[in-house]
Amino acid sequence: MGGTKLEIDLGAERLLAAERQGEKIAVEIKSFLSDSPLTDYHAALGQFLNYRLALEISQPDRTLYLAIPLTVYDAFFQREFAQLSVERYQIKRIVYDPINEVITQWIN
């Protein structure tokens, strides 16, 4: 992609391509497993921005979403810093419940 090879995380972290109501999307799934949600967010944000740029080059019709666990959304993403960051970087989010394996919220 643009002369750069991107390695996509496998396992708990992964990038999925899908369709939602006819819209082509890609979903970067993050688990936020470390002791520091801020550290996890920094890594997720960097990957998200790079993946979004790569998609703009290779698949411009696909919209990227960051999938985050419900508990992390409730605890970390309600903080002012996180809210300002996702607004500034225009991060579309999917909130998921990893226990029940369901999406609880789509945030554009």
Instruction: Tell whether 47 is covered by a domain.
Output: yes
Predicted pLDDT of residue 4: 43
In a domain, 11, yes or no: no
Query: What pLDDT does 38 receive?
Result: 92
Structural domain total, the chain: 1
| Token pair of 31 as six digits | 């688990």
Is 88 part of any domain? yes
Residue 30 burial by CB count (10 A; 0-12/13-18/19+): exposed, middle or buried? buried
- What residues make up the domain containing 63? 35-107
What's the pTM value of the predicted model, to 2 decimals?
A: 0.81
Q: Which regions in the chain score pLDDT beneath 70?
A: 1-20
Q: φ, ψ for residue 68 (rounded to 5)? A: -130, 145
Q: Within the chain, how many helices (H) and strands (E) appear? A: 3, 5
Predicted confidence at residue 23, as pLDDT, reads: 77
Q: What pLDDT shows up at residue 61?
A: 87
**What CATH number does the domain containing 44 carry?**
3.40.1350.10
Quick check: is 4 in a domain? no
Residue 68 has a pLDDT of: 94
